[in-house]
Copies of this chain bind each other. A is one copy, B any other.
């Protein structure tokens, strides 16, 4: 079992703990705050609700979380040590020194610092080359970006860090030069300063500014960022044209950022008051859950398009499925004489209603994913489809027998009732543990994608279907299969 150490809890350390634990790592925590266990428990509860359903693959079993009275005990045997103590260089130095006295020389030491450069952290360290900035974004268990700032870090440590971050679904953005606040926070700081001016000058309230962002460029940036968005805006004439058009604005007074607003109590009161008016009717816990549900829904929307953060999620699914019964051909599928595992996943937040129950139409989403896996197994994959053949669903019959909630781990096993010539008749059973939640019966026809008419599949697919037919021939007819809908008494 992989082991991570979290030094310093809070929202950020807790987020790291949750991401590691839900990805199957044992996590050892050091945090002198007497409230640490409660606080990290709350972050973990949010993460359990939202992270597993981001995947269309089974997450590994959750790792163990433990709390330790000393840094030395927490970091012992850890492959990754994450420092998330307060942003004061003297505290960081003391903490890093204590970590290095006790940890493995091969461990990665990442710092969550928003502003310090690695060279500042490495100053006077026992093994400076072991230390790097690994700056995450809140909520750490959902957002994939990590700024990995590595001047002065050993190349071998960077390689290990990159592999580990990718294995837990993160995207390390490696920065080989160091500057204050790295990259992303420079934008945040610029926008923050400009926003303080706008509120202070009475141009717009905090709520109006939030709306100006989320009804406009915020949605654009969630998928293409700054430059690609402008490239598109520039049209066929391209990026040079765009820059020529907006270059002169650099000399115009379009920002107040030549200057910084004075951080007075009045300004704090003004902004805190507006923020209360804007969001005050919801607790922070409630806002966190809303935020996480929104992020899951949008990231899964991008996943449907295989784009941006959604493309990262797809890559992570493939990594998690690789080498399991959920990837590869019939050989990987295990015992064919029983219904075949075709889906194992958590119910994602965007599949549920406001009460957290999985909504009706999402059962078909799950069954469609199970059918897709069956297709991959018999060789009807993207290459085969590109070559002009595919199966179309002609009929579907779903029986809802029990309920599932957000975060529940569900599985689908598939019985092939008929697989011959152009015809394919599947019977999916969805379970949670021993409980049957639903059955999905599907009749499919193999079609020629050019003529859109039914025809027999390729010889390798026919052979795969014959193997399953032979293996499953003694299974009893499933209860409920082939039954018409009629009013039960």
Q: A219-B299, A243-B272 are in contact. List 12 more A-B contacts (CB 8 A).
A: A143-B215, A177-B201, A177-B202, A183-B198, A187-B213, A191-B191, A231-B275, A248-B263, A293-B305, A297-B304, A360-B393, A364-B364
Closest beta carbon of chain B to A392's beta carbon, Å: 7
A334 on interface, CB distance cutoff 8 Å: no
Closest beta carbon of chain B to A56's beta carbon, Å: 13
Within 266-286 of A, Cβ neighbours of B (below 8 Å) are at 268, 271-272, 274-276, 278-279, 284
Q: Given the complex of chains A and B, what is the CA–CA distance between A475 and B392 in angstroms?
A: 31
Q: Chain A interface (Cβ within 8 Å of chain B)?
A: 11, 115, 137-138, 143-145, 147, 171, 173, 175, 177, 179-181, 183-196, 198, 201-204, 206-229, 231-236, 238-240, 243-244, 246-258, 260-261, 263, 268, 271-272, 274-276, 278-279, 284, 287-288, 290-291, 293-295, 297-302, 304-305, 307-309, 312, 350, 359-365, 367-368, 371, 392-400, 418, 423, 425, 441-443, 481-488
Closest beta carbon of chain B to A278's beta carbon, Å: 7
Contact among B258, B367, B393, B482 with A258 in the assembled complex (CB-CB below 8 Å)? B258
Q: Given the complex of chains A and B, what is the CA–CA distance between A488 and B180 in angstroms?
A: 69
Q: Given the complex of chains A and B, what is the CA–CA distance between A247 and B425 in angstroms?
A: 64
CB-nearest residue of chain B to A452: B403
Q: Given the complex of chains A and B, what is the CA–CA distance between A278 and B179 in angstroms?
A: 23
Contact yes or no, B360 A275, CB < 8 A: no
- From DSSP, what is the main secondary structure of chain A's interface residues? helix
Contact among B147, B247, B482 with A484 in the assembled complex (CB-CB below 8 Å)? B482
Contact among B218, B220, B288 with A232 in the assembled complex (CB-CB below 8 Å)? B288
Which residues does chain B contribute within 8 Å of A234, judged by CB atoms?
A: 284
Q: How many copies does the complex hold?
A: 2
Closest beta carbon of chain B to A354's beta carbon, Å: 9
Closest beta carbon of chain B to A140's beta carbon, Å: 11
Closest beta carbon of chain B to A484's beta carbon, Å: 4
Which residues does chain B contribute within 8 Å of A11, judged by CB atoms?
A: 233, 235
Contact yes or no, A191 B425, CB < 8 A: no
Taking A222-B221, A397-B397 as contacts, is the C-beta distance between A301 and B297 under 8 angstroms?
Answer: yes
CB-nearest residue of chain B to A303: B297
Contact among B181, B240, B251, B257 with A190 in the assembled complex (CB-CB below 8 Å)? B257
Which residues does chain B contribute within 8 Å of A251, judged by CB atoms?
A: 260
Contact yes or no, B257 A395, CB < 8 A: no
Contact yes or no, B485 A397, CB < 8 A: yes
Which residues does chain B contribute within 8 Å of A275, judged by CB atoms?
A: 227-228, 231, 238-239
Contact yes or no, B260 A250, CB < 8 A: yes
Contact among B227, B248, B392 with A209 in the assembled complex (CB-CB below 8 Å)? B227
Which residues does chain B contribute within 8 Å of A216, judged by CB atoms?
A: 137, 143-145, 184
Contact yes or no, B365 A231, CB < 8 A: no
Q: Given the complex of chains A and B, what is the CA–CA distance between A482 and B233 in angstroms?
A: 53
Contact yes or no, B294 A236, CB < 8 A: no
Contact yes or no, B228 A278, CB < 8 A: yes
Which residues does chain B contribute within 8 Å of A239, judged by CB atoms?
A: 271-272, 275-276
CB-nearest residue of chain B to A268: B243
Q: Given the complex of chains A and B, what is the CA–CA distance between A216 and B188 in angstroms?
A: 11
